[in-house]
Structure formats: C-alpha cells, structure tokens
C-alpha cells in the first residue's frame, strides 16, 4: 500500500513537468515584449485621422514586424489618459485616433478588438496597457477639448490640477473604483491576455490633495504613507477583480526603475535617482510581498556602468526583490535611448541593448524583457535583424507530448529529461 501511494505521488509530480498538463499563467516565462504607445502617436496610430483601412494596415504591419523580431507579447496602450482606443461606456474616444477627444474613428473602428484578434492570429499575446490617473498631458487646451461626457468633467471634485495638467485624485475611493471598473470593462469585452499599468500614479510630492487627506487619511500620521496605501489599495482591488473575471489573466505594473535609493532607505538600491517610493508613492515591494501582481516590470532605462543608476546594479536589486516570491520579473529596456543616440554615445547602435540582453540571459529569477518602444526598435539601425537572430538562438522546441501543444526551450527539455530519468530510477527501485 505504501509503495502504491508513493508511486501515485511520483506520477503526479511527473505530470507537472509535462506541458499542457496544467494551466500556466500567460507569458509567465520567456517574456519577449514590446510597448506600443498611442500617446502623442509614438507608435500607433502613427498619425491622427487615419481611415479604418489605414489603421488596419498599420496594425498588420507592426504586428508582422513584431513577430518577425522574435517577440511574443504586445503591450498596447489603449488608455493613454482618461480616454480609450475602444468603444467604452466609461471613457471618451482618444484624440490620438480621430484627432478629437470623444470622436469615434472612421467607421467607429474598434482598435483594441482588431489588435487582439490580429495578435492572436500571429501567435502573439496582447496585454491592454492603461494609465490609471492621468487626464491630460498637454495642458489647458487639452482639458478644454475634453467632452462633457468624460468622468473628469462629470466629477470635477475628483480632479486635481498639477503643473498645468489634470489628474484624478488617487485618494478618492470613487476614483479608485473608476480605474477598476475601466479595467474590468476591457476584460469583460475583449479576449486580452493581460492588463498592464505604467508608472504614472501620483505625479509629484506637492500634489494638492490635502483636503482629500483630511477627509480619508485619519488612520495615517504622514500623507506619504496614506498616498502609498491608496496605490496599494488600487493594485489589490485590480488583482482581485481581474482574476475573478479571468483566473488566467496576467496583471502587472511597470514602475519606475528605482524603488528607493539606499541613502534614504537601507532596503533601497545603490543609486541616485528619482525614487518611486518617496516621490511617486509606489511601493512595489509591498505588491510583490502581498502577491497582488503577477509580474513586475521595472523600467531600467539606463546603461551598464552608468554610475547614478547602473543597469546591472538595479537588475540584481530587483532579482533579490522577487527571489522569495512567485511574482515574475520582466526587465524594461529603454530602446528609445538607442533610437535617440548619436555616434560616440554608449547607446548608439545595438551594442548596449546586446550587452543588456546577454546579462539578462545569464541571470536567474528573470522571466524576460520588454522594450520601449516599437518605433524605437524599428528605427535603430540593425536592431530588428539583431533581435530576430538573438531570439532564434533560443527558440522554443516542440516537445512530442500527446497533443503536441507544449513548447519548451532546449535547456528546459534537458532538465526535464534528467528529472524524468531520476524519477524512473526511483520507481524501479521501489519494486526491487
């Protein structure tokens, strides 16, 4: 009887190593992502006022190029501000499509719907990227052009002006609920593989939310702690709501690359840059420890050897941050630096990107990388060809299982073969 029980346990463990035997989180490992930004028409759409056919053609071209580079995941910015690149009951159409906030594109073309289908047809994942609190990025003229149907105009008590731009106040529970409802609307209506938040939460330390703090912050002696708790509450609410709607959905955040400098906090990194913890009120370590994100994707937009914020130093810090958790770590790479670089600059060409990818390939506790952004990769001389060759060298190979559905790398195949051999030897020894 004991031998039978042991055999059952061994067989169950063996099944866990077979692709397709269990449902894995989407793109948990081997992330090869790219941000496709709509704000200021950086990546898509490349200009405002395009016809539906032009939008489709541009989407197809970009997705074909992304797949050809060996990438596997698109982070499409579908809500660059308090707007949408899809028909929404909560937010007006984005000006970056039609040219006018609240005006639908040609034929009411559903950009997000098209990108989801087209990405999946090419074997790519599509994550919907949203900005949680930003309302404007271009000041008063943009604010004046927002239609009355916008939640920002319907609820002026939710809005704070900061440095000539407008933001929803993160400390107001109704605002947090709006962000959650907006993300849930996407998941209910589209077959997206994930919901992704960028690093824009509180825009600065002098954000004018004293009245909100007085109303809602009685449990906190410091406004900074209260602000961080507001962000933590939002992240936890998104985690619960989104995974209730789709348990396999991937939810994560791309925070600024420096959590905190060691000079201000002993837990911080040996860096000298903007602090996400102290200046933007984002406590990424809390999200990791609480497990309220499936992945974290810090934006490490500096070069190897850049003393104030060395890429390698920060990679090691984030590796340690996730090492005892089940949160995946993706590294955000600043390809735009190379796109903007001049001859003689560290970032010029593909050398720095190559060095960073080599470092990541040789590191543990890192499940992949995401590049900012698509247009930058295309504009760097030789970069598309380099990425194609780089990822082809580590192309997953098909494992001949029952339905031929699992794909694993050669290294993983060898590891599993070794484990299976050990298990088989163990089983045989039980019956000698």
Bond prior to 103 in cis (omega within 30° of 0): no
Distance of alpha carbon 355 from alpha carbon 14, whole angstroms: 37
Distance of alpha carbon 335 from alpha carbon 374, whole angstroms: 9
Distance of alpha carbon 81 from alpha carbon 424, whole angstroms: 56
**What is the predicted pLDDT for the residue at 419?**
53
**What is the predicted pLDDT for the residue at 426?**
52
Coil, strand, or helix at residue 31?
Answer: strand
Strand 194-197 and strand 299-300: the pairing is: unpaired
Extents of the domains making up the chain: 30-400
**What is the predicted pLDDT for the residue at 282?**
96
Residue identified by tokens 């604010």 is 143
Q: Residue 85, Cβ neighbours under 10 Å: how many?
A: 28
Instruction: Give the CA distances from residue 223 to residues 177, 205, 215, 236, 277, in Å, rounded to whole numbers and listed in that order.
Output: 21, 10, 12, 20, 13
C-alpha 424 chain-centroid distance: 40
**What is the predicted pLDDT for the residue at 424?**
46
Q: Which class would CATH give 30-400?
A: alpha beta
Distance of alpha carbon 432 from alpha carbon 430, whole angstroms: 6
Instruction: Give the CA distances from residue 320 to residues 196, 267, 361, in Å, rounded to whole numbers and listed in that order.
Output: 23, 11, 16
Q: Does residue 421 contact residue 414 with C-beta atoms inside 8 Å?
A: no
**What is the predicted pLDDT for the residue at 18?**
39
Please give the sequence-ordered ranges of beta strands (E in DSSP) within 65-214, or none if there are none: 73-79, 125-130, 159-162, 165-168, 194-197
**What is the predicted pLDDT for the residue at 190?**
98
Stretches in the chain below the pLDDT threshold 50:
1-27, 397-411, 413-414, 417-418, 420-421, 424-425, 427-432
**What is the predicted pLDDT for the residue at 396?**
53
pLDDT digits (tens, 9 = 90+) for 127-157: 999 999 999 999 999 999 999 999 999 999 9
Which among 48, 38, 152 has a CA at the least distance from the CA of 85?
Answer: 38
**What is the predicted pLDDT for the residue at 394?**
75
């Amino acid at each position: 009887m004991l031998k039978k029980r042991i055999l059952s346990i061994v067989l169950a463990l063996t099944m866990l190593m077979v692709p397709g035997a269990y449902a894995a989180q989407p793109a948990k490992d081997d992330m090869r992502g790219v941000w496709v930004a709509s704000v200021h028409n950086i990546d898509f759409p490349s200009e405002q006022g395009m016809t539906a056919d032009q939008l489709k053609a541009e989407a197809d071209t970009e997705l074909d190029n992304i797949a050809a580079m060996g990438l596997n995941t698109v982070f499409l910015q579908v809500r660059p501000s308090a707007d949408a690149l899809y028909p929404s009951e909560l937010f007006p159409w984005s000006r970056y499509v039609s040219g006018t906030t609240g005006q639908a594109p040609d034929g009411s073309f559903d950009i997000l719907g098209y990108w989801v289908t087209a990405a999946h047809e090419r074997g790519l994942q599509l994550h919907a990227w949203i900005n949680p609190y930003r309302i404007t990025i271009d000041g008063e003229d943009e604010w004046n052009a927002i239609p009355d149907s916008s939640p920002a105009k319907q609820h002026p008590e939710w809005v704070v002006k900061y440095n000539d731009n407008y933001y929803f106040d993160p400390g107001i529970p109704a605002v947090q609920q709006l962000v959650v409802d907006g993300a849930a609307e996407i998941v209910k209506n589209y077959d997206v593989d994930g919901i992704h938040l960028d690093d824009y939460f509180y825009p600065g330390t002098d954000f004018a939310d004293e009245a909100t703090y007085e109303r809602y912050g009685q449990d906190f002696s410091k406004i900074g702690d209260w602000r961080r708790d507001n962000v933590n509450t939002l992240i936890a609410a998104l985690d619960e709501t989104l995974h209730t709607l789709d348990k396999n959905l991937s939810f994560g955040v791309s925070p600024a690359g420096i959590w905190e400098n060691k000079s201000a906090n002993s837990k911080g990194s040996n860096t000298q840059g903007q602090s996400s913890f102290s200046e933007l009120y984002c406590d990424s370590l809390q999200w990791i420890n609480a497990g309220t994100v499936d992945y974290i994707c810090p934006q490490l937009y500096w070069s190897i050897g850049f003393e104030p914020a060395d890429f390698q130093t920060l990679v090691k810090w984030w590796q340690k941050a996730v090492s005892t958790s089940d949160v995946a770590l993706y590294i955000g790479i600043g390809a735009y630096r190379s796109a903007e670089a001049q001859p003689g600059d560290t970032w010029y060409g593909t050398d720095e990107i190559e060095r960073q990818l080599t470092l990541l390939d040789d590191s543990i506790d890192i499940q992949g990388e995401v590049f900012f952004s698509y247009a930058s990769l295309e504009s760097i001389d030789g970069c598309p060809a380099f990425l194609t060759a780089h990822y082809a060298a580590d192309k997953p190979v098909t494992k001949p299982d029952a339905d031929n559905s699992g794909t694993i790398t050669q290294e993983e195949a060898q590891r599993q073969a070794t484990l299976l051999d050990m298990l088989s030897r163990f089983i045989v020894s039980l019956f000698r």
